[in-house]
């Protein structure tokens, strides 16, 4: 849970700050702003991957795939557009995200922000 996120972020910080090849590329040091931007970017990538895994784990992806098939069947494969599919699937997709997944991601974001706030 929350301890894993903190440990993961701490390991990332140790790696980035402790790696002379990373921190001092071509004899120059990254500014603190660049470092913080990089940490935020890496956290964002990690968070997206976590969300993807959680949504697959809870069956969200399969449910959404089935709903896409329903929309295509309803409109007809020849008549459905990408816009139709997005309009028909987006509200259901948002509604199908379990509250537990939303809560976990929010907790991880808050923990990251608390750790990196000035």
Instruction: Express each pLDDT in 58-96 by its tens digit.
Output: 999 999 999 999 999 999 999 999 998 999 899 999 999
Query: 2 with 24, same domain?
Result: yes
Domain carrying residue 76: 59-97
Residue 24 lies in a domain: yes
- This prediction has a pTM of 0.65
Cβ 41 vs Cβ 54: under 8 Å: no
Claim to verify: residue 64 and residue 37 sit in the same structural domain: no
Query: Do residues 4 and 43 share a domain?
Result: yes
| pLDDT at 2 (0 to 100) | 46
pLDDT in tens, 30-40: 567 777 777 88
Query: What residues contact residue 62 under an 8 Å CB cut-off, 6+ apart?
Result: none
The tally of domains found in the chain comes to 2
């Amino acid at each position: 849970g929350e301890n894993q996120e903190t440990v993961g972020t701490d390991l990332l910080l140790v790696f980035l700050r402790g790696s002379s090849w990373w921190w001092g590329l071509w004899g120059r040091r990254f500014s603190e702003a660049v470092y913080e931007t990089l940490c935020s970017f890496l956290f964002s990538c990690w968070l997206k991957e976590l969300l993807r895994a959680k949504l697959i784990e809870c069956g969200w992806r399969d449910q959404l795939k089935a709903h896409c098939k329903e929309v295509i069947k309803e409109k007809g494969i020849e008549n459905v557009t990408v816009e139709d599919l997005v309009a028909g699937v987006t509200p259901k997709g948002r509604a199908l995200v379990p509250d537990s997944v939303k809560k976990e991601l929010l907790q991880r974001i808050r923990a990251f922000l608390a750790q990196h706030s000035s």
